[in-house]
Amino acid sequence: MEAPDAQLAAAWDFTPEEEMLGGYCSRVYADATRILKIPFQGEEMTSGRVASLLFAEAGVSPRVFRDDPKTGALLMERVLPGTKMSDVTISEPESLAVWVDFIRRFPKTVVAGLTPLQDYVSKTDPLVQHLLSTTKETCLLHGDLHHDNILLAPTGWLTIDAKGLLGDPAYEAAAFIRNPLNQVGDWPNLDQILRNRIHVIGEATNWPKERVWGWSLVSARDEAWPDDHPWAKVRFALESLAGEFARP
C-alpha cells in the first residue's frame, strides 16, 4: 500500500487484507467486509464520489461508510459474492432487464459536482456535436453502466464505479451496448444483438432510439481501435445499422 493510501486507511481504521484488481482510475483494497477505493485520476476523483453517495442512498450501489472530498476516496461495503455480470451465466433478456431496472431506480437528483457530459466526451466527432446540440433534457448519469460494473450481491444486483456525469439520458446506454468486452467480439450475430438492445432500451426508457444508437456509436469509435478489437467490431456493427437508426 502506497504511503498516502496507508495514511488514509489508518485514519479510517481500515487494515487492508488484500489489494484487489483496480480499474483505470483507482487503487482498491479490501478487508473481509469493506472496500477502500482510492482514485488517482479521472472523474472518480471528483464527480464519481458524488454519484457514489447518491447511488448508495438510493440502494443501487454499495453503502458508503466514509468519503474524502479532497481525493474522492471511498470506504464502502464489500459486495459478496461480488461476481461480475460478465462472469455469470445470464441470458441476454435477463441482463437487459437488470440494466433497465437500474435505470428506473437511479436517483433523479441533480447536484453540484457532477461532470457535464460535454466536458467528458470528445467533441471532434460531428455526431457528438449533433447529439450535444440537440439534447433536450439532462440527468444524473452513472456513465459506465456495463456488465463489469454490475455485481451480484445477496439481495440482488448492485452497480459500482460511477463516473457521475450530467447529460443526455440516452448516453447511459452506450457502455452496456458495447459490452461485455470479453464476449462481444466473438458473437457472429453481433449486429442483430445490438439492434435488439437498442430497441429494448429505447422502448423501456422512452429514449429516442436514434440517440441510443448515436451515443453507442460515438462511444465505440472514440479511439482508433484495431479492426480485430471487440469495440471495433461493435463500431462496424453499429455503422451497419445506420440506415435504420441514423437521422438527417
Mean pLDDT of 71-82: 95
The answer to whether the beta carbons of residues 130 and 151 sit under 8 Å apart is no
8 A C-beta contact, residue 143 and residue 50 = no
Please compute the mean of the pLDDT values over residues 160-183 and round it to a whole number: 96
**DSSP H/E element including 150:** strand 150-153
- 106 and 32 share one domain: no
**Among 140, 168, 166, residue whose Cα is nearest residue 61:** 140
- Per DSSP bridges, beta strands 165-167 and 115-116 are parallel
Indicate whether 171 and 48 sit together in one domain: no
Residue 247 has a pLDDT of 77
Q: State whether 150 and 96 are in the same domain.
A: yes
**Residue 92 shares a structural domain with residue 73:** no
248 pLDDT above the threshold of 70: no
DSSP designation for 76: E
Query: Within this chain, do residues 122 and 201 fall inside the same structural domain, yes or no?
Result: yes
pLDDT confidence bin for 167, thresholds 50/70/90? very high
Instruction: Label residue 1 by pLDDT band (50, 70, 90).
Output: confident
What proportion of the chain, given as a percentage, has pLDDT over 90?
89
Domain end point (choices 32, 48, 77): 77
What is the gyration radius of the CA atoms in the chain, in angstroms? Answer: 18
Q: What is the pLDDT of residues 200-218, one digit of tens each?
A: 999 999 999 999 999 999 9
What are the residues whose beta carbons fall under 8 Å from the beta carbon of 126, sequence distance 6 or more? none
Q: Strand 73-77 to strand 139-141: parallel, antiparallel, or no bridges (unpaired)? A: unpaired
The per-residue pLDDT of the chain, averaged, comes to 95
Give the mean model confidence (pLDDT) for residues 119-124: 93
pLDDT-based confidence at 94, cuts 50/70/90?
Answer: very high
Boundary of a domain, candidates 45, 77, 109? 77
- For residues 104 and 204, membership in a common domain is answered with yes
What is the CATH number for 19? Answer: 3.30.200.20
Shared domain check, 87 and 195: yes
CA distance 160 to 6: 23
Q: How far apart are CA 231 and CA 219, in angstroms?
A: 9
Domains in the chain, number:
2
Are 110 and 194 in the same domain?
yes
Quickly count: other Cβ atoms within 10 Å of residue 232's Cβ. Answer: 17
111 in the same domain as 227: yes
What's the mean pLDDT in 139-151? Answer: 97
What pLDDT is recorded for position 227? 94
At which of 20, 53, 77 does a domain end?
77
Its domain, for residue 27, covers: 3-77
| Mean pLDDT value of segment 131-154 | 96
**pLDDT confidence of 22, banded at 50, 70, 90?**
low
Over residues 100-112, mean pLDDT: 95
71 and 169 co-located in one domain: no
Same domain for 107 and 58, yes or no, is: no
123 with 240, same domain: the answer is yes
